[in-house]
Amino acid sequence: MTVEYSCCETNFFIHILIIVFLVMFAGLMSGLTLGLMSMSLVDLEVLAKSGTPKDRIYAAKILPVVKNQHLLLCTLLICNAAAMETLPIFLDSLVTAWGAILISVTLILLFGEIIPQSVCTRYGLAIGATVTPFVRVLVWICFPVAYPISKLLDYMLGHGHVALFRRAELKTLVNFHGNEAGKGGELTHDETTIIAGALELTEKTASDAMTPISETFAIDVNAKLDRELMSLILEKGHSRVPVYYEQSTNIIGLILVN
């Protein structure tokens, strides 16, 4: 049987405080689920080693908690589900049944899902680092239930997944930075060109770096090094000019141009 309290009773205000706490708690769990679980271990390790000073501190605090991803995921979801399932019980003592359903859905959707996830998507690193001690406590509280489920997930899906980029993905990422170089990116166009070229080395052969002999500038061994030929050599701008005998394919030496 549902017990309803009037707005002047002490229990009424207690239930209001509990409802506010449950909504905020559910929102925090929902936001952390998106904010923490969306960051891979590779991302956090990169931030911990080469991020900004603040990002290094945040990532170092989060890494120990996120390393056991399935245990963290189970803990956050269990706490979120517990808060959402408990909310209608306290609302039912203040309003009618249909009102409790309507209000609980509205509160959870707006303040327990949309707003927290939007905030944690943008500031997930800072928020996650701030509430890390609280999350550790929740992990220990939910451990008897969350640990067996997490071990089952480890068995079925694998203990951990390291999202390393393949060469083609790295090349695309570098090219993206190259396209953004003129828009305030940290990498210049020349730097991205060098990096992209290094990633393509395994796909290139020696012939790709060579110039067809029919297109090379070479001189006959019997040619006179007069002013006109010297001007032509300097105009070509090569540091070494092949010298051939009778046929252009019969290279017998090089002229060093200083």
Start-end of H helices in 93-239: 97-109, 115-130, 132-157, 167-179, 189-199, 227-236
Least confident piece of the model among 8-12, 100-104, 209-213, 237-241: 8-12
Q: Does the reported pTM lie above 0.75?
A: no
Query: Which residues, 6+ apart, have CB-to-CB distance to 23 below 8 Å?
Result: 83, 87, 107, 108, 111, 112
Among 163, 191, 161, 167, smallest CA distance to 177 is for: 191
Please check the confidence at residue 1 and state whether its pLDDT lies above 50. Answer: no
Q: What pLDDT is attached to residue 79?
A: 92
pLDDT (tens digit per residue) in 126-141: 888 889 999 999 999 9
Q: What pLDDT is attached to residue 178?
A: 67
Please check the confidence at residue 3 and state whether its pLDDT lies above 50. Answer: no
The rounded percent of the chain whose pLDDT value lies above 90 is 11
Tokens of 63: 């890494």
Q: What pLDDT is attached to residue 106?
A: 81
The CA distance from 240 to 245, in Å, is 17
Please check the confidence at residue 196 and state whether its pLDDT lies above 80. Answer: no
Please check the confidence at residue 181 and state whether its pLDDT lies above 80. Answer: no
Residue for token digits 């399932």?
85
Please check the confidence at residue 203 and state whether its pLDDT lies above 90. Answer: no
Rounded to an integer, the average pLDDT of 209-213 is: 78
pLDDT (tens digit per residue) in 28-71: 998 888 888 877 787 788 888 887 888 888 888 888 888 888 89
Q: What pLDDT is attached to residue 183?
A: 59
Q: What pLDDT is attached to residue 184?
A: 56
The CA distance from 200 to 192, in Å, is 12
Mean pLDDT of the chain: 81
